[in-house]
Amino acid sequence: MSHNVLSVEIEHSRYKALLDNQNRVDGSVRLTTIQPRQHRAVISVYHERQGKRSPITDFEFIPPRGTSEEFPDLRLEGSWTGRNRAHLRLFYNGRLYAERDVRLPGLSPLLVAIPLIVLVLLGGLWIMWPSSSPDAELRGRTGARETPAQSAEPAPARTVTPRADTTPAPRPAPTATPAAPPTAPPPAEPSDTATPPTTPAAPSAPATTPTTPGAPSDTAAPEIAEPREYQLVVYFRADSARITELAAQELREFAARLPDSPATQTRISGHAALAGPPAGRLPLSRQRAEAVSAALLTAGVEFGSDVQVRGYGAELPLTRNPELQDNNRRVEVELTYPPSNRR
């Protein structure tokens, strides 16, 4: 059984294992992704296998209105419900907030059994085919030509019985038959005996294999590393482009994790909620994007030549629910660095 682990991102770039299929024990993780009086948090669950981590699901947490907890208790619990299935439950201050079932990626037993069934059927056909066909093929291909070759082997029986009963006159016939085989059979015998020489000729194939050691060197080309991407989402208050203290702290922590070299590509996009007058959404989203860009430059982040700071207004909302418009008042930051510039 392959080693599968479900982990949770408890802080930025910090992960903690929730479930492990080797011990099959229920897990529980206390989350620190939400801060006091934070309006929204996203809890990401990842699937880890053979050193690779891939996202499998997200929980979006929005504190209920009217709550004023300084340090909310947010906990994620999980339990195995099958070989590659798990049930996850998110609790807020001891109450169930959300739950869902997840399935780990992998091959189903049916997909694994189908190739085995095909191999068994092909093997049965291969075993049954030579038992019925070779004799018929030999008879059909050789026909009358193989009768002399076959008579050459039982010649003693044929010559002894008829020749012994008959007069010596038939003896010239047997002498003629051996004389005929040297002329006619040579084409037939080389065809039968030519197969053995071809079998030693097969080693010529291995002779080519030593000549191909260069192939592995060609195929063993080094893997091309992919560029490193850094992303951040900054949220704003209604009708405001001013960066809050919590957002400023997140921007400083984000800048501290970035490489020292300039980013090869910078994308800063501002967005607005669906509330308010439509005419003011585009300028407000542009002001939010420019505010985040200025804060990153102040924190020491260097932009390269490919920079795009743009406001989209309310063209790309995350949600259209009137009660969840805080999620649309945001700025999305995407910075791309070369692979060699990682810290």
283-296 confidence digits (pLDDT tens): 999 999 999 999 99
Out of 35-39, 178-182, 198-202, give the one with best mean pLDDT. Answer: 35-39
Confidence category of residue 135, pLDDT binned at 50, 70, 90: low
Domains assigned to the chain: 5-103 (2.60.34.10), 228-341 (3.30.1330.60)
Q: Fill in the DSSP letter of residue 84.
A: S
* Residue carrying structure tokens 């020491």: 300
Which amino acid is it at 286? R
Contact 189, 150 (CB under 8 A): no
Residue 177: which of 154, 155, 146 has the closest Cα? 155
Mean pLDDT of the chain: 74
Least reliable range by pLDDT among 42-46, 127-131, 271-275, 284-288:
127-131
Pairing between β-strand 74-80 and β-strand 27-30 as defined by DSSP bridges: antiparallel
Ranges assigned E (strand) in the chain: 5-11, 14-20, 27-30, 41-49, 52-61, 74-80, 85-92, 95-103, 228-235, 265-270, 307-311, 330-337
Residue 202 has a pLDDT of 47
Residue 49: which of 19, 14, 25, 81 has the closest Cα? 19
**Percentage of residues of the chain with pLDDT beyond 70:** 62
Alpha carbon separation from 81 to 5, 24, 55, 58 (Å, rounded): 14, 10, 20, 19
Q: In terms of C-beta density within 10 A (0-12 exposed, 13-18 middle, 19 or more buried), how is residue 341 classed? A: middle
Report the pLDDT averaged over residues 145-156.
Answer: 46
